[in-house]
Every structure is written in structure tokens, then in C-alpha cells.
Amino acid sequence: MPMRHPSAYPPPFRLLLSIGVILLPVPGCNRKPAPATPAGSAAARPPSETPSAVPVAPPPQAGEPGSTTRGEIAGVRYLEHMTGGARPDERVPMIVALHPMGGDPADLLQMLRRYHRRARLILPYGHPSGGMYIWYNSVRDDVAASLVTREADRIAEALAALVAARPTIGKPLVTGFSQGGIMTFALAVTHPEALAAAFPISGLLPPSLYPSAALSPGALPATLPPIAAFHGASDLAVPTQGARDSIAELRRAGYTAELREYPGVEHDISGEEESEILERIGLAADGLAVAAPAP
């Protein structure tokens, strides 16, 4: 059964899970609102007022394999979930999943629970908005580079702290749906050194962040993360052509980048697409395990 996630654009948002149909409410429904960001937190301060000290992630919380715990680092809250029977203190690949606009990390966790290899899932929270979460407040394809880059910087700082504190094989593998897919593309461009690979779903790279427009010649590092994008061929919310243009631009910049389109699929994740995404992430994780030296 296909899986439908909240759209990157205005409500109603719907999530069709393989276990049944769940309606994600818009503001005014009975779902408990997202907590407001504390006034003194890093997320609530402008970048100039954010402490420059490198944050230290808390140690892995004790729990049984397969349990889900919560944490916060560098002003970014997240869910942490172990898959494949892995223990919290076990050295495994790290998979990061970024939710859509108007979504919740727990929704993406439903799909990623089907990932059966041993791994550590990190699902960050964006900013509270109307009882759900967003990464930035814009629905334009060509959202300002500064807006997306600011969020990419926050995520990259949090991931660096987590990788330093967790027994991790290689660099993180990052995926995300819709606005989370846009953020995945953005991380691959603004912080390519921080990722092992990127798997954006139903996203695109804003033209203002195209390497040819946003970076000076030679600004990209020699080693770039491969990008495998997935997109419904009938997507009108985040137009498929935007993903095609993004992949073409990234290839011109030197990335190994590909796009898998799914005929008849709109702004959803079909069952076939979900299976292929999990398999591609798994193959990348297997490659990290082979390449990484023993601790």
C-alpha cells in the first residue's frame, strides 16, 4: 500500500501508512500542539547570539534494541531509534531522516522501522508551527539561499556532535521527504564533507543554491557525497521538473547524482518507491561497513 506524507505546501496534510490511514490534523484539531521553543534556547536566538562553543551530545540512552529515545543537541531535538536489533552503544551506520513541512519525525519513523539492517536512526525536529513542525516558513521553490543554508548549518552542527558522541561507522546517510528532501539536497551542497550519501525524496535544490550560482569556482571539496533522488512523476506540489533540473545541475558541478521517477505517483511515497529507498540506503550502509576501519 502506498505511503503518503504531508505536502510541502498548505493543508490539508495526509499521511497514508502501510499499517492504515492516519489523518494529520491542521491547526485547531485535537492533536497536542508542538511545544514552543524556549526563549533562551539556541533555536530561539539569532545566529549572532548563539554560543560558539562546540556542543557535547549526551551519551546514548539505555534501552532495549528497537526502542526509541529522545534527545537534544545544538538546539535541535531529535528521535533516536536502533534498527536490526542493534544496541544503543553499538558501532553502526547513522541514518538521518528529515520530515516534511507540517510533519513530525515520528511519521517518517513509521517507514524507517522497515529498515532491517543494524543502524542508528536520527530523526531531527524542525521548528514548531501550528501543532506540527517546519524547517523554514516558505513554499517557494526558489526559497532564499540564506534561509535554507541557516537550517542546513543547524542540522550539520547537530550531526557533527552526534557522530562525535555515538559509535558510528562512517559519515551519516541523509534522507528526507518534501521540505525534508529540499533540506537533504541543501546539506549535500552546503555541507558535502559531512555526508556519506544523500537520498532526497520528492524534493529539489533551490536554484539559488545551485553550485554555479551560490559557490565560487573550486569551492566544492574534491570528494562529494553521491546523491540518489526519488520523485513521483506526477508530483505537482514539488514539481518533478525541479528535481530533474537539480540533478542535471549537480552533475555539472561534479556530483554523482541520479533521479528515479515513479509513473503515476504524486506527492506521495509509493510502496515500490519505499522499498527501493530502503534498499539503496542499505547498500550505502553496507559500503560504509566495508570501507570503515575497525575502531
Residues 79-107: tens digit of each pLDDT: 999 999 999 999 999 999 999 999 999 98
DSSP state of 42: G
Residue 59 has pLDDT above 70, yes or no: no
Could you tell me if residue 209 is inside a domain? yes
Q: Domain count for the chain, please give it.
A: 1
Bridging pattern class, strands 257-262 and 227-232: parallel
Q: Summarize the confidence of residues 132-150 as an average pLDDT.
A: 84
For residue 85, what is the domain's CATH number?
Answer: 3.40.50.1820
Residue 46: how many other CB atoms lie within 10 Å = 7
Give the pLDDT confidence score for residue 146 in this predicted structure: 86
**Per-residue model confidence (pLDDT) at position 144:** 77
Looking at residue 139, what is its pLDDT? Answer: 66
Position 14 pLDDT exceeds 50: no
Does 31 fall in a domain? no
Is 96 a domain residue? Answer: yes
Give the Å distances, CA to CA, from 266 to 2, 102, 109, 179, 244: 11, 18, 21, 15, 15
Condensed to tens digits (0 to 9), the pLDDT of residues 235-267 reads: 999 999 999 999 999 999 999 999 999 999 999
Q: Rounded CA gap, 150 and 234, in Å?
A: 30
Band of residue 212 on the pLDDT scale cut at 50, 70, 90:
confident
Answer yes or no: is 112 within a domain: yes
Cell of 224: 562529494
- Residues with Cβ within 8 Å of residue 242, at least 6 apart in sequence: 141, 204
- Give the per-residue pLDDT at 293: 66
Task: Report if residue 161 sits inside a domain.
Answer: yes
Q: What is the pLDDT of residue 152?
A: 96
Summarize the confidence of residues 17-36 as an average pLDDT.
33
* Burial (CB count within 10 angstroms: exposed 0-12, middle 13-18, buried 19+), residue 290: exposed
pTM, rounded to two decimals: 0.79
For residue 78, what are the β-bridge partners?
Answer: 71, 124
Domain hosting residue 125, numbered range: 63-215+223-291
Block residue for cell numbers 508530483: 235
Using the 8-state DSSP alphabet, how is residue 78 labeled? E
Other residues' Cβ atoms within 10 Å of the Cβ of residue 237: 18
Average pLDDT of span 14-22: 30
Give pLDDT, residue 124.
Answer: 98
Per-residue pLDDT at 290 exceeds 90: no
Q: Is residue 49 part of a domain?
A: no
Take residue 249 and report the three cell numbers written for it. 545541475
- Read off the C-alpha cell for 89: 552503544
How do 173-177 and 94-98 pair as beta strands? parallel
Is position 205 within any domain?
yes
Measured distance CA(173)–CA(150) in Å, rounded: 20
At 280 the pLDDT is 98
E strand residue ranges, 164-223: 173-177, 197-201
Distance CA 209, CA 146 (A): 9
List CB contacts of 249: < 8 A, sequence separation 6 or more: 205, 210, 211, 212
Residue with cell 490539508: 12
The more confident residue out of 287 and 67 is 287
Residue 22 domain-assigned? no
What confidence score (pLDDT) does residue 105 get? Answer: 95
